[in-house]
Chains A and B, each alone.
Chain A
Amino acid sequence: MRRTREGLNRLLLAALLGVALLLPIAVRTDQYTLVLLTTILLYGVLATAWNVIGGLAGQLDLAAGAYLGLGAFTAGTLLIRLNVSPWLGMVLGGLVAVGFAVLIGYPLFRFGVKEVWYALSSAALVEVLRVTFLIWSQVGGPVERYLPYHEWSFYHLRFATYMPFYYIMLGLLALALLVNHWIRHSKLGYYLMALGENEEAAEVLGVNTQKCKLQALAIYAFLVGVTGSIYACMYGFIHPNFFSGPMSIEVAILGIVGGMGITYGPVMAAILLVSVREFLRANLGGQLEGLYLVVYATVLILIALFRPQGLGPMLRQAYDRLLSRLVKE
């Protein structure tokens, strides 16, 4: 019984991976669909990274845009000014994001900024960075800075098609999921879940909550920073609007809707919600401005009303039911 169940699990994982790998080939040169699929993956990575700080550690972080922008500007500026390959740039971008996260996170956690106050501080951070980069004309400024054009350059991570970015993003998603899975089953994961549920209880049991929160924040910032570097290469320019408040909130929404702390939840939410959003944008966007957002918001409200635990647990149950039926037969 157990073995067949595990077999089916593995089969499903292999099937999903197969579909994910083959999708772009099926789509071929349809750039719109490719960029759509890559965007879904991008949000999947961001929401999966958010799961570490938001889902596991229970900190309502709204600063994804800050780390995304830092990653984009680090890799982008290095490429434009010094011709540094984004492959190195993305690691540096992740590290810059980590450095900044620690710089901000240390005092926040040290002085016990929690809950809504943490959410507000992190949201403010995005805006502060956006304005700073608008004013800082040596690196940012109000005009887009374009990355050098290459039709197909592996070194510059510049391609005239979105196909390579799809696979890079898929790899990054796999990395984010692995990191999540690893944390979920490590000592740090238990510490984070404990402090997310009840910080005071975790403290008296010997958890150094400040340190754990900072570690979670750093891991999240690194993944988002790397994603930001790739984001810059994919779109071919950098602009202070990359420090985007709405995008930061969207990432948190995906993490919450996916089911707090569930490894695969945020990806599921990203696949479902970003598809719905883009479908609505494509079909309703031309009719009345903002109408698609009204419908999208209605979908979110319905989920909040009927599935407050998130989509993750719902899909899990459905999957378990399906499995038990298959195994019994």
Chain B
Amino acid sequence: MLNELLRVEQLSSGYHRVPVLNGVSFYVREGEMVAIIGPNGAGKTTLLKTISGLLQPTSGQIFFHGQEISGQPPHTISRIGIAHVPEGGRLFPNMSVMENLMMGAYGNRDVLKTGVLDELFELFPRLKERRHQLARTLSGGERQMLAIARGMASRPRLLMLDEPSLGLAPILVEAIYDRLRVLRERGLTILLVEQNIHHALSLADRGYVLENGRIVLEGACAALSQNPHIRQHYLGL
């Protein structure tokens, strides 16, 4: 039995007085890749924002390595090893590729001495070619790669990705997922939030289905893709 890295218990959260999440519970084991899938407005992004501290939970708990982290500010949560790659990448458009990566590592500067940048450039060779370009001049696929690389630059223990396939051409989605596969094989723990259910379910180990702020289904991805509800509502089969 592998260790649990992240555990979320009965989490409720939302914006001001509008509740979005309603008692969400799930866990992620060390080295595992977990997908959270669901339609628009289900609360997927809200869930990630609450874990990374951008939103405060209204009730419930979040544990990382057995320690409660709910209510901590985002910069503290980032420093204990949770990297959040927000929806659409949220790069710093007027900084170069290199500066964006450095920002990713700045929370823990010692990490730069471990050659993390070389590793990232090996993983994303295009970024090395473009390292002096401003981020706003990158193509959509390159931006997403940079966003993932920036999240990786702090050597997180948990990488949270918010819709990495958003707005990308199918061939670029393939390229992104190919890189995620490599990361996963290297043993990185990944929490993936996706609307692109086909890709998410084919790569992740386990999945949760989030609808209207509640987890309605969970299980191994292989089983989920056979589930009649999923096949009918999400895969259109």
Interface residues of A (CB under 8 A from B): 187, 190-191, 193-194, 197-198, 200-209, 261
**In the complex, are the beta carbons of A203 and B103 less than 8 A apart?**
no
| 16 extra A-B contacts, CB within 8 A, seeds A204-B78, A205-B104, A209-B75 | A187-B106, A190-B102, A191-B106, A194-B95, A200-B54, A200-B90, A203-B73, A203-B75, A203-B78, A204-B83, A204-B84, A204-B86, A205-B150, A206-B74, A206-B108, A261-B94
Nearest CB on A from B84, distance (A): 4
**In the complex, are the beta carbons of A208 and B75 less than 8 A apart?**
yes
Q: Which of A197, A203, A204, A261 contacts B93 (CB 8 A)?
A: A197
Nearest CB on A from B32, distance (A): 21
Nearest A-chain residue to B48, judged by Cβ? A204
User: For chain B residues 67-114, which have a beta carbon within 8 Å of chain A?
Assistant: 73-75, 78-79, 83-84, 86, 90-95, 99, 102-104, 106-109
Chain A residues with Cβ below 8 Å from B103 are 190, 194, 202, 205, 207
Q: Which of B75, B92, B106 contacts A197 (CB 8 A)?
A: B92
Assembly CA distance A205 to B109 (angstroms): 12
Judged by a CB distance under 8 angstroms, whether B165 is at the interface is: no
**In the complex, are the beta carbons of B86 and A193 less than 8 A apart?**
no
* A–B Cβ pairs within 8 angstroms, 11 of them: A200-B86, A201-B90, A203-B74, A203-B75, A204-B53, A204-B74, A204-B78, A204-B84, A204-B86, A205-B107, A206-B107
Chain B residues with Cβ below 8 Å from A202 are 92, 103
Nearest CB on A from B6, distance (A): 15
Assembly CA distance A209 to B54 (angstroms): 12
Chain A residues with Cβ below 8 Å from B99 are 190
**In the complex, are the beta carbons of B92 and A198 less than 8 A apart?**
yes
Chain A residues with Cβ below 8 Å from B95 are 193-194, 197
Nearest CB on B from A109, distance (A): 12
Interface residues of B, count at CB 8 A: 27
Chain A residues with Cβ below 8 Å from B104 are 205
Nearest A-chain residue to B94, judged by Cβ? A197
Chain A residues with Cβ below 8 Å from B12 are none
**In the complex, are the beta carbons of B90 and A198 less than 8 A apart?**
yes
Chain A residues with Cβ below 8 Å from B54 are 200, 203-204
8 nearest interchain CB pairs? A206-B107, A206-B78, A201-B90, A203-B74, A204-B84, A197-B92, A208-B75, A206-B75
Judged by a CB distance under 8 angstroms, whether B195 is at the interface is: no
Judged by a CB distance under 8 angstroms, whether B13 is at the interface is: no
Chain B residues with Cβ below 8 Å from A193 are 92, 94-95
Most buried by B among A187, A200, A205, A208: A205
Judged by a CB distance under 8 angstroms, whether B50 is at the interface is: no
Chain B residues with Cβ below 8 Å from A208 are 73, 75
Judged by a CB distance under 8 angstroms, whether B52 is at the interface is: yes
Assembly CA distance A190 to B98 (angstroms): 12
Chain A residues with Cβ below 8 Å from B53 are 203-204
Assembly CA distance A203 to B78 (angstroms): 8
Chain B residues with Cβ below 8 Å from A261 are 94
Nearest CB on A from B159, distance (A): 12
Assembly CA distance A207 to B107 (angstroms): 7
**In the complex, are the beta carbons of B106 and A205 less than 8 A apart?**
yes
Q: Which of A187, A201, A207 contacts B75 (CB 8 A)?
A: A207
**In the complex, are the beta carbons of B92 and A194 less than 8 A apart?**
yes
Chain B residues with Cβ below 8 Å from A197 are 92-95
Chain B residues with Cβ below 8 Å from A204 are 52-54, 74, 78, 83-84, 86
Assembly CA distance A200 to B73 (angstroms): 12
Nearest CB on B from A202, distance (A): 7
Chain B residues with Cβ below 8 Å from A200 are 54, 86, 90
Assembly CA distance A191 to B154 (angstroms): 15
**In the complex, are the beta carbons of B106 and A207 less than 8 A apart?**
yes
Nearest CB on B from A299, distance (A): 26
Assembly CA distance A201 to B151 (angstroms): 10
Chain B residues with Cβ below 8 Å from A207 are 75, 103, 106-107
User: A190-B99, A190-B106, A200-B86 known; A205 and B91 CB under 8 Å?
Assistant: no
Nearest CB on A from B36, distance (A): 17
Nearest A-chain residue to B109, judged by Cβ? A187
Nearest CB on B from A261, distance (A): 8
Assembly CA distance A190 to B84 (angstroms): 19
Chain A residues with Cβ below 8 Å from B91 are 198, 201
Chain A residues with Cβ below 8 Å from B78 are 203-206
Assembly CA distance A204 to B104 (angstroms): 9
Assembly CA distance A10 to B95 (angstroms): 26
Assembly CA distance A95 to B169 (angstroms): 55
Assembly CA distance A261 to B74 (angstroms): 25
Most buried by B among A190, A197, A204: A204
Assembly CA distance A193 to B94 (angstroms): 9
Nearest CB on B from A303, distance (A): 19
Assembly CA distance A245 to B196 (angstroms): 52
Assembly CA distance A206 to B86 (angstroms): 13
Assembly CA distance A202 to B83 (angstroms): 11
